[in-house]
C-alpha cells in the first residue's frame, strides 16, 4: 500500500492478510524537503462483530514506535439497507 500525505511524506507499506485482520509495516518512507522527521509506522485493521477496528503506530521526531491513533468504526444502516 502506498500513502502520500499532504505534509510531504510518502509511506510504502507491506504486510499480511489473515482472515479479517490486516497487518502492515512501512518498508520505505520518503520525506520532501521541510517535512518532519518520520522513521517508520505500522497499521492494523481488523473486522470484529461487523465493526472495523484500526490502529496506527509511528516512530517520528526522534521517538520510538508508539501508538499515534486508533479507532472503531461501526456500521450504520440507511434507508436502502432496511428495505
The tens digit of pLDDT for each residue in 39-73 reads 999 999 999 998 999 999 999 999 999 999 999 99
User: Per-residue confidence at 76, pLDDT binned at 50, 70, 90?
Assistant: confident
What is the residue extent of each domain of the chain? Answer: 2-82
Query: What is the pTM assigned to this prediction?
Result: 0.83
Mean pLDDT of 25-40: 95
Task: Tell me which of 2.120.10.80, 2.40.420.20, 2.40.128.20, 3.30.1360.70 is the CATH number of domain 2-82.
Answer: 2.40.128.20
35: which residues sit within 8 A by CB, 6+ positions away?
7, 8, 9
Q: Does residue 37 contact residue 61 with C-beta atoms inside 8 Å?
A: yes
Q: Does residue 24 contact residue 42 with C-beta atoms inside 8 Å?
A: yes
- Can you give the pLDDT at residue 82? 57
**Is the per-residue pLDDT at 17 higher than 80?**
yes
- Listed in sequence order, the DSSP H helices in 1-83 are 79-82
Q: Does residue 29 contact residue 38 with C-beta atoms inside 8 Å?
A: yes
Amino acid at each position: 500500500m502506498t500513502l502520500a500525505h499532504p505534509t510531504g511524506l510518502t509511506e510504502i507499506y507491506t504486510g499480511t492478510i489473515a482472515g479479517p485482520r490486516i497487518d502492515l509495516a512501512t518498508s520505505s518512507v520518503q520525506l520532501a524537503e521541510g517535512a518532519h522527521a518520520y522513521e517508520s509506522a505500522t497499521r492494523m485493521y481488523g473486522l470484529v462483530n461487523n465493526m472495523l477496528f484500526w490502529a496506527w503506530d509511528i516512530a517520528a521526531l526522534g521517538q520510538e514506535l508508539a501508538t499515534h491513533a486508533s479507532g472503531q468504526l461501526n456500521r450504520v444502516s440507511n434507508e436502502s439497507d432496511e428495505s
